[in-house]
Structure 1
């Protein structure tokens, strides 16, 4: 009885904090805004056009940052994640539509909006070894279990400055279901999965795990894509496996960087 009441109060409190009865309408407006914006973008890798994602890999919210609703998209190149992008609509404390892109395995990536180049990262994707990780299993389901275990033993530390100048220490949690799982029929002999570490359900850091099943001695390897401009660390087995310094400077960072944030214009008549 008390548990039921407590749960009801908690859900009600979250709904009120996040916009109450406005949430469904705001989420629907965000869906429309993100879909309309996505249609204006085209990505290519090594001069080959990448198929525009047919649907978001993930829809997310982040009540700690405000009333915001976002979509995460994955662009693929021969079954591998070449780049990831987020589009998100703020209703409070801002009225805005924003985007961000991060380069993963794609080479010579170019992102165009309405045929104008917006992003052309010059940094090179880096793979890192995973000392002590189990040898990749023979079967796909077993490999997914291994990847989940690797992702779970990694922890993320974020100094989040969205709400304070000094920053809040955050530990984004792992979504145990990857936001993208390789289609082995297209990526073979490579297999892998893309995991997200989130606040609310908002991805802050991406962990890409991959192995070459055709290698004489297959091994797991990892790469990282950030979706936040603040200082962030990926820790594993007590040590720092990867670290990204805070991106300093203007509101909109350089379009040649692996991670690019950019503001977008709201259409006329957008709900406030």
Structure 2
């Protein structure tokens, strides 16, 4: 290399931020963008009665999770939850790609049997036409414990009996990867309106990126308490979920999920420049 080319390369390297600095900046950018975007989305349950608006879902303050996924690229995101009477209704992962893509995306899934709409100002961004989850009874589990602390232990034990595997086709070949269960629930709740004595929402992740949601509930029904569960996808790839050794869900790959805004799981892009960011609070003198 000539001395001139060496100097040019050296100056270019000096002008480029170090990888750690650059990644921290990306994380900070998403930490400002994601909550601002979540506040623009209004999630509403569609009413069964014509001319009447259904229940509005409540956006929970702060993210359930902050995540990145180096296996996919330089991508950073945050996850936000909407609930109806505390029960999970919808969850959105709001993320931004920096490499190999340059997209900003809302990935959203219904966690309820209600049909949902996501509105932004006067536009409908998503309108599910089918239920997002189906609750199923849990066989061969201990009776629901009396104390809240004991029930948490039970729900964590139930969650550990689930496992999931993702099949990635991005490289042309089927690459199967096991997902990891986060040990603690990302959300815990009670919902008297729906008969939920105790409930917890768990994430099965790749690195820290949630790919499957597991909801475990103790419900009061017909004078007795029992356990039930529901599952929802958070990835378009094929997914297989097992309860102990039995397959309980096998979801096929969703091709171009952003094309179907009526599905319980979808994606849509947005321009981060159009999202009004909150000004940082000034430090007290």
TM-score bucket (shorter structure): 0.7 to 0.9
Q: Does 1:238 align with 2:245?
A: yes
What is aligned with 1:81?
88
In structure 2, what is the Cα distance between the partners aligned to 1:130 and 1:122? 27
Aligned partner of 1:260 in structure 2 is 266
* 1:90 has 2:109 as partner: no
Aligned equivalent of 1:144: 152
The residue that corresponds to 1:23 in the other structure is 23
Distance (Å, rounded) in 1 between the aligned partners of 2:245 and 2:78:
33
> How much does 1:141 deviate?
1.2
TM-superposed CA distance for 1:160, in Å, is 2.0
Report if aligned partners of 1:189, 1:214 keep a CA contact under 8 Å in 2: no
Hey, what's the Cα distance between the residues in 2 that align with 1:220 and 1:189? 10
C-alpha distance in structure 2 between counterparts of 1:209 and 1:58, whole Å: 18
Query: How far did residue 159 of structure 1 move?
Result: 0.3
User: Does the residue aligned with 2:258 lie in a helix, a strand or coil?
Assistant: coil
- For residues 202 and 222 of structure 2, the distance between their equivalents in structure 1, rounded to whole angstroms, comes to 24
Residue 171 (structure 1) aligned to one of 165, 171, 178? 178
Between stretches 169-178 and 123-132, larger displacement belongs to: 123-132
CA separation of 1:19 and 1:131: change in aligned 2, threshold 3 A: farther
Cα distance in structure 1, aligned partners of 2:135 and 2:176: 27
Q: Hey, what does 1:132 align to over in structure 2?
A: 140
How big is each residue's C-alpha offset from its partner over 1:183-213, in whole Å with a ceiling of 9 and x where there is no partner?
A: 4688764311000000111000000111214
Cα distance change of structure 1 residues 217 and 188 upon mapping to structure 2, 3 Å threshold: closer
| Rg larger in structure | 2
Q: Unmatched 5+ residue regions in structure 1?
A: 1-17
User: Contact conserved, 2:90 with 2:111, CA < 8 A, in 1?
Assistant: yes
Aligned residue number for residue 194 of structure 1 = 201
Distance across 2 between alignment mates of 1:189 and 1:98: 32
Number of matched pairs: 249
3-state SS of paired residue (1:94)? coil
Return closer, same or farther for 1:148/1:263 CA change in 2, 3 Å cut-off. Answer: same
Aligned positions of 1:31-70 closer than 5 A: 31-45=31-45, 46=47, 47-70=54-77
8 Å CA contact retained: 2:236, 2:257:
no
Partner SS state of residue 142, structure 2 = coil
Distance in 2 (CA, whole Å) between partners of 1:49 and 1:238 is 39
- Tell me how far apart the structure 2 counterparts of residues 33 and 206 of structure 1 sit (CA, whole Å): 23
Unaligned runs of 5+ in 2: 1-17, 48-53, 275-285
- Note the C-alpha offset of 1:220: 1.0
Structure 1, 51-60 or 220-229: larger mean CA deviation: 51-60
- Partner Cα separation in structure 2 for residue 267 and residue 189 of structure 1: 41
Counterpart position of 1:204: 211
